[in-house]
Structure 1
Amino acid sequence: MTTVLTRAELHALVWERPMTKLAAEFGLSSTALQTLCKKHEVPTPPCGHWMKKAHNKPVRVIPLPPRPSDGTGSDRILIQPGLGLAVSPAAAAAREAVRAGTEPATVSVPAPRDRLVDATLAKLAKAKPDAQGLVSVRGAGVIQVTARPVSVDRVGVVLDELARAAASRGVVLDAREGSARFEVEGETVTVELVEVADKVAHTATPAELQALATWEAKQEADRKRYGHASGWGRPQIPKWEERHQGRLAVRLEEVRVRRDSPWGPAMRRTYADHGRRKLEAMAVTIVAEVVAMAVTKRENRDADERRRREAEEQARRRAEAERRAALEKRRSAALDELIVEHERILQLERYVIALDAALSGTEIPPRVGRFVCWVRARLDHLKAEMAPAAFEMRLESRGLFAEDE
Structure 2
Amino acid sequence: MYTFVSFTVAELFEKVWQTPMIKLAHDIGVSDVAVAKACRKTGIPLPGRGHWAKPEKHRQRKPKPPQVEGKVRFQVLDRGTPPAKPGTDLNSTIVRRTIEAPYQLTEPHALVSRWLKSAKTSKLKDGHLDYGGKRVLNGMISSTLIERCAILFDALIKESEVEGYSWKINAEGKTIVTVNDEPMAVRLMERLDKHPIPPPPPPKRRPGAPWEPNFMSPRSPQFEWASTGELTFQIEARMDYGERKNWKDTKTAPLEKKLSSILAGLSSASVSIKVLREKEEARDREWAEDERRRFERARTTETQRRLRLSLVKHTERWERAERLRAFIKAVEDRLTITPLADQEMAQAWIDWAHKQANVLDPTQGNLALITTLDVELESWFSGPHYGQVEKGWWSE
TM-score (norm 1): 0.60
| CA distance 1:78–1:193, shift in 2 (3 Å) | closer
Q: 2:368 aligns with which of 393, 400, 404?
A: 393
Moved more, 182-191 or 300-309: 300-309
Amino acid at match of 2:148: R
Letter in structure 1 aligned against 2:257: A
Structure 2 equivalent of residue 367 of structure 1:
345
**1:401, distance to aligned residue in structure 2 (A):** 2.0
Consecutive unaligned residues in structure 2, runs of 5 or more: 1-7, 84-94, 378-396
Give secondary structure in 2 for the equivalent of 1:249.
strand
Q: 1:96 aligns with which of 68, 75, 80?
A: 75
Deviation for aligned residue 1:347: 4.3
Taking the aligned partners of 1:40 and 1:247, their CA distance within structure 2 comes to 36
Shift of 1:172: 1.0
What's the offset of the Cα at 1:188? 0.9
How far has the Cα of 1:242 moved from its partner? 1.2
- Is the 1:187–1:297 Cα contact (8 Å) retained in structure 2? yes
Superposed CA deviations along residues 85-127 of structure 1, whole A, max 9, x for unmatched, are xxx52xx53x72699999744699x9xx998x52244345544
Comparing 28-37 and 123-132, the one that deviates more: 28-37
* Structure 1 residues 96 and 374, CA gap change in structure 2 (3 angstroms): same
Selected match of 1:317 from 290, 294, 297: 294
2:193 matched to which residue of 1?
A: 198
State the alpha-carbon separation in 2 of the partners of residues 304 and 35 from structure 1. Answer: 24
Among 32, 42, 53, which residue is 2:40 paired with? 32
State the partner residue of 2:318: 341
Q: Which residue of structure 1 aligns with residue 235 of structure 2?
A: 252
Letter in 1 for 2:277: R
Query: Could you say which residue in structure 2 is the equivalent of 1:278?
Result: 254
**Count of equivalent residues:** 342
Shift of 1:359: 0.5
Instruction: Note if contact 1:134-1:149 (Cα within 8 Å) is conserved in structure 2.
Output: yes
**In structure 2, C-alpha distance between the alignment counterparts of 1:216 and 1:68, rounded to whole Å:** 77
Describe how 1:200-219 pairs up with structure 2 within 5 A.
212=201, 215-218=202-205
Shift of 1:187: 0.9
User: What stretches of structure 1 of length at least 5 have no aligned partner?
Assistant: 44-63, 83-87, 260-264
In the aligned structure 2, how far is the partner of 1:33 from the partner of 1:284?
A: 25
User: Contact (CA 8 Å) 1:136, 1:146: kept in 2 or not?
Assistant: no
- 8 Å contact from structure 2 (residues 243, 272) kept in 1: no
Whether 1:122 and 2:113 are equivalent positions in the alignment is: yes
CA offset digits 1:110-152 (Å, max 9, x no partner): 9xx998x522443455444333495969967x64445566634
Q: Is the 8 A contact 2:317 2:361 kept in 1?
A: no
Rate the CA distance shift 1:32–1:284 in 2: closer, same or farther, 3 A.
Answer: farther
Higher relative helix content? 1
Structure 1 residue 13: Cα displacement: 2.7
Give the aligned partner of residue 297 of structure 1. 273
Match of 1:174 among 130, 144, 167: 167
1:338 & 1:34 partners in 2: Cα distance? Answer: 65
- Structure 2: how far apart are the matches of 1:201 and 1:363? 110
1:3-18 counterparts in 2 under 5 A? 3=11, 4-5=14-15, 7-10=17-20, 12-18=23-29
Give, as a single letter, the amino acid of the residue that structure 1 aligns with 2:109.
Answer: D
Asked whether the 8 Å contact 1:96–1:288 carries over to 2, the reply is no
Aligned to 1:162: 156
What amino acid does structure 1 have at the position aligned with 2:347?
G
Residue type of the partner of 1:154? R
Note the alpha carbon deviations across 1:257-287, whole angstroms, 9 max, x for none. 5x8xxxxx99875544344441223334434
Measure the CA separation in 2 of the matches of 1:368 and 1:175. 97
Give the distance between the partners of 1:201 and 1:270, measured in 2 at CA. Answer: 29
RMSD of the alignment, in Å?
5.3
Q: 1:71 to 1:355 in 2, by over 3 A?
A: same
Rounded to whole Å, the distance in 1 between the matches of 2:339 and 2:111 is: 119
Supply the AA of the counterpart residue of 2:316. I
* Partner secondary structure for residue 309 of structure 2: helix
Match of 2:318, SS?
helix
Structure 2 residue identity aligned to 1:217:
K
Distance apart, 1:189 and its partner CA? 1.1
Q: Which residue of 1 aligns with 2:208?
A: 224
Normalising by structure 2, report the TM-score: 0.61
